[in-house]
Structures are given as structure tokens and as C-alpha cells.
Amino acid sequence: MPTQPTDRYAQFVGTAPGTWLSSQLGLPRPAELRRAQPGKRVLDGPALVVGTGLAPLRADLADLLRAAGTDVLDELPEEAADHGGRLAAIVVDATGLREVAELEQVRAAVVPAFRRLAPSGRLLVVAAAVDEAATVAAAAVQQGLEGFVRSAAKEARAGATANLVRVRAGASAADWASTVEFFCSGRSAYVDGQVVTVGPAPAAAPAQERERPVAVVTGAAQGIGAAIAEALARGGAHVVCVDIAAQGEALAQVANRVGGTALHLDITSASAPAALAEHLRTRHGGADVIVHNAGITRDKLLVNTDADRWASVLEVNLAAELRIDDALLETEGALHAGARFVCLSSLSGIAGNRGQVNYSTSKAGVIGAVRAMAPLLAKRGMTANAVAPGFIETAMTARMPVATREMGRRANSLQQGGRPEDVAETVAWLADPRSRGVNGQVVRVCGQSLLGA
């Protein structure tokens, strides 16, 4: 594994003198985040599961967490209880709220519990889809929950996060289980202040999971791509690791580490889409997961962006991806029923970034593509989603000027950079066969960055 850059400030703050100094000076105090480890439970402490209004999902939410080995509470424990009365998660079923006055129930339930939230704790609000609200007031209430969650995320301390899951009408517990699990677990360590909508699984989705699904990851030789390959392999997938031939040495190491295969392919070449489709058809009998991760930057201010810098970034980050999707969808046998597309966007594609006009355009384009593909794919039981990383500690960010890097690290609610595995776990959740109800979503992995929020 290539070593990740160290956040020396975060390390210092973790020491006793560092803690004292940073609190005296009012400096940021990034916490070490709880992250998933094999064999570790979804939550490492009790979860308070409360219903507000009719709370039609409360019982299912409690059952899901219990099945995941969590001690589920329906009221706040005494402070002297186990864990000092600390809560690993607060899960609120707000799907039934219709009237503004009912929002008080959310406040009343969360306020006393929020102080008890353990380090890296989770506030997860489950809400209804706004566009399905029966009344104006219900829509206002359901939309209002986003403001509630996003502000709570900014106030949460010690690595705790707050996110909102919207459940569409007709979605069953099986449809949202993987999503609720993801947001409660350490896999979502750097996902904060996000809103994700889960719908019912498309009718065309296959009933059976494949024993060893086949996943394709482009740009898999290093950084986030390599982490995605590892996460998908941990989940049981055979990963076809794709990168340009020049990256072959690192790519072979990744493929051998994850027990997958290495494929040298320049995704921008005219023959690449057909070659990949043919490879997946003949060598693997079709793919289940396609992760478009390969990307490049050619940063310059807008006024200095020439046609070459423009074209190369749009070609690699957007055009090649679209051509490959077309080829895979058109080639009989290249994809399995229920295939998942996960496309890497970027916070730059949402918020824009100085010096990245070309990159931001391409990454915003990715979001547009995913949203347009989603309804088309749903008819075939497939999904497309985008993941937009914020500041992730990679070799690329290690080369940034110190001031820029420190700004990137601290300008988010968790006051630190994410790790490649945080992006990878998010991709793995979207690629999970159980996540078939998550479609057309854009999920940021940014620690609730101040940018573009």
C-alpha cells in the first residue's frame, strides 16, 4: 500500500498538550474517525431509535439494527448506564410528519440525546420524499428536515455525523437496509450532512445475488481507484482492474493483492469501449459493477486554459466514460441484469474550484450523465449513482502547497481530510446488490465541506 500523507496537526491535537493548546486557542480539533473493520459491528454501542408522528418505519429500523448486533433503545438511558449512557447512534423515523408543529417532536427527541452522542456517533433521520408529499405543509416539513440535519452535522462533535435518508413510497425495508446500515457504520466515516433518496427496487432487478460478482474499476492502479478495488474485493467481487499500460506495474500489484485481474486499457482510445465490452463478455461472462474512477487534472485559470488542457480532461473524465457506458449497454452479454454504474464526480463539479474550470466542467457533466441514465437504467433493473469526493488524502493532495492543503483539510465539519477508503466504502455501498433502490443519487464524501454546501 502506498503510504498516505500524515496529518501532523491532527496527530498533535490528539496528544495531551495538543488538546490543551488547541482548546485554549479555539483551534480545530479533528477527531480520529471510527472506520469499518472486518468483523466489526455496524455500531459499537447502543442506538436510540425514536419515532415521531406515525413513524411507520420505526419497528423495521429497530429490527434491522438489532439484526446487526446493536442494542436498540426506545428511550434515553440513565447516564449511569453502560457506556456512561453514551449513544452510538440516534435514528429518527420522521417519515410520518405532516404538520409544522410536529417538527417539535424531532427537536424534543434529539436534543437530550444529541449531547450523549459518542465520538463518531451517528444522527440518522429517515424522512419521506418531498415530491411525494400530499400537502404543501408536509412538503415543507419534509424539506425542513434537511436544514435540521445539515445544521446538526455542523454542531456534531468528535467525529459524529448527521445524515438524512429519504424513503420513497413503496420501498420496503429490504430496499433501504443497506443504506441505513451504511450511514450507521464506520464505512460512512467521512460522509456527513448528506441526503440520499431510496426508492423501491426496480421490478426488473434480479431476485438472486451472484456468488462472485464481477466489478470493473478504471484508474485502479493507485489512490482512490486502488482503494475501491480493495473494498469491492473485500465484499466478495472479482475486480477487473483497469488502467493505462504505463501504470501496469502498480496495477499488477493491486490486481494480485485483491485477487482480481489487470487489464491495460486506454479508456480514451477509439477501440476501448468495444474492447472492454468484449473482454467482460468473453473473460467474465458479463460485469455486475462498473466504477468510472479514472480521471485527470490539468489545472489552469480559465484565462490560461488552452484547447489541449480542455480537451484532454473532458475526454478522460467524461467523454470516454459515456462511450464505454453506451458500448456496455449495447453489447449483449457485457453486463449482467441488475448492473450498477458508480461514477466518480468531485466536489469541484458541485461547488466549482479556482483553477479547475475544465475539471469542474467534466465532473459536473458526470452528475448530469448519472441523473439522465438513472431512469433509463431502472427499466433494466440497473442503477447509476455518482460519488463526489471532497478533500481526500492521496499522493495528489500531498503535493499541494501547505496552505492550500491545510485549508482543504480543515474547511469541513470533521476538520480533516478523508481517506481513499472512505470514498471506496461509499462506492461499495452503492455497488451492493442490496442497494438496488438507490438510483440517480449524488453522494458527497467530503466531511460536510463548507464548499458548495
Partner 1 sequence: MAPALRRAAIVGGNRIPFARSGKRYAQASTQDMLTAAIDGLVARYGLQGERVGEVAAGAVLKHSRDLNLTREAVLSTALAPTTPAYDVQQACGTGLEAAVLVANKIALGQVDSAIAGGTDSASDAPIAVDEGLRRVLLDLGHARTPQQKLKAISRLRPGNLVPAPPRNSEPRTGLSMGEHMAITAAERRIPRQAQDELALASHRNLTAAYDRGFFDDLVTPYLGLKRDDNLRPDSTLEKLSSLQPVFGRSGRAADLAEPTMTAGNSTPLTDGAAVVLLASDEWAEQRRLPVLAHLVDAETAAVDYVHGGDGLLMAGAHAVPRLLERNGLTLQDFDLYEIHEAFAATVLAVLDVWNDEEYCRERLGLPAALGTIDRSKLNVAGSSLATGHPFAATGARILASTAKLLSERGGGRALISICAAGGQGVTAIVEA
Stretch that binds partner 1, among 38-46, 264-272, 398-406, 408-416 (CB under 8 A): 264-272
Residue 55 within binding range of partner 1, rule CB under 8 A: no
Alpha helices in 26-159 (DSSP H): 58-67, 103-114, 136-155
Nearer to partner 1, 70 or 218 (CB): 218
In contact, 164 and 93? CB cutoff 8 Å: no
Nearer to partner 1, 218 or 426 (CB): 218
Residue 265 within binding range of partner 1, rule CB under 8 A: yes
Q: Which residue has the cell 447516564?
A: 79
Burial class for 379, CB neighbours closer than 10 Å (0-12, 13-18, 19+): exposed
In contact, 241 and 258? CB cutoff 8 Å: yes
Please give the positions annotated as active site: 359
User: Strand pairing partners for 40?
Assistant: none
Q: How far is the CB of 258 from partner 1 (least distance, A)?
A: 9
Residue 398 within binding range of partner 1, rule CB under 8 A: no
Nearer to partner 1, 48 or 240 (CB): 240
Nearer to partner 1, 11 or 269 (CB): 269
Q: How far is the CB of 440 from partner 1 (least distance, A)?
A: 33
Total of chain residues touching partner 1, rule CB under 8 A? 26
Binding residue for partner 1, selected from 151, 282, 304, 404, defined by CB under 8 A: 282
In contact, 43 and 88? CB cutoff 8 Å: yes
Q: How far is the CB of 256 from partner 1 (least distance, A)?
A: 4
Nearer to partner 1, 11 or 256 (CB): 256
Q: How far is the CB of 221 from partner 1 (least distance, A)?
A: 10
Task: Give the CA-trace dihedral at 444, 57, 186, 45, to 10 degrees.
Answer: 150
CA distance 311 to 33: 39
Binding residue for partner 1, selected from 252, 274, 337, 453, defined by CB under 8 A: 252
CA separation (Å) from 262 to 229, 243, 245, 321, 420? 11, 8, 10, 19, 20
Stretch that binds partner 1, among 42-50, 248-256, 302-310, 311-319 (CB under 8 A): 248-256
Residue 259 within binding range of partner 1, rule CB under 8 A: yes
Binding residue for partner 1, selected from 151, 172, 269, 304, defined by CB under 8 A: 269
CA separation (Å) from 83 to 86, 91, 119, 161, 187? 5, 18, 12, 19, 22
Nearer to partner 1, 126 or 251 (CB): 251
> What per-residue string of b and e applies to 391-406 under the rule 16 or more CB within 10 Å gives b?
bbbbeebeeeeeeebe
Residue 251 within binding range of partner 1, rule CB under 8 A: yes
Q: How far is the CB of 249 from partner 1 (least distance, A)?
A: 5
**Which among 318, 290, 309 has a CA at the least distance from the CA of 225?**
290
Binding residue for partner 1, selected from 53, 219, 225, 260, defined by CB under 8 A: 260
Q: How far is the CB of 44 from partner 1 (least distance, A)?
A: 33
What lies within 8 Å, CB to CB, of 437 at 6+ separation is 168, 171, 175, 176, 179, 198, 199, 200, 201
Q: How far is the CB of 240 from partner 1 (least distance, A)?
A: 9
Eight-class DSSP state of 416: S
CA distance 130 to 127: 9
Binding residue for partner 1, selected from 283, 301, 306, 407, defined by CB under 8 A: 283
278: its cell numbers? 468484449
Residue 261 within binding range of partner 1, rule CB under 8 A: yes
Residue 236 within binding range of partner 1, rule CB under 8 A: no
Q: How far is the CB of 162 from partner 1 (least distance, A)?
A: 41
Residue 278 within binding range of partner 1, rule CB under 8 A: no
**Which among 429, 422, 440, 315 has a CA at the least distance from the CA of 386?**
440
Nearer to partner 1, 86 or 234 (CB): 234
Binding residue for partner 1, selected from 75, 79, 249, 308, defined by CB under 8 A: 249
Residue 238 within binding range of partner 1, rule CB under 8 A: yes
CA distance 334 to 219: 20
Binding residue for partner 1, selected from 256, 354, 395, 396, defined by CB under 8 A: 256
Binding residue for partner 1, selected from 245, 311, 372, 396, defined by CB under 8 A: 245
In contact, 80 and 52? CB cutoff 8 Å: no
Catalog residues that contact partner 1 under the rule CB under 8 A: 238, 241, 245-249, 251-253, 255-256, 259-266, 269, 271, 282-285
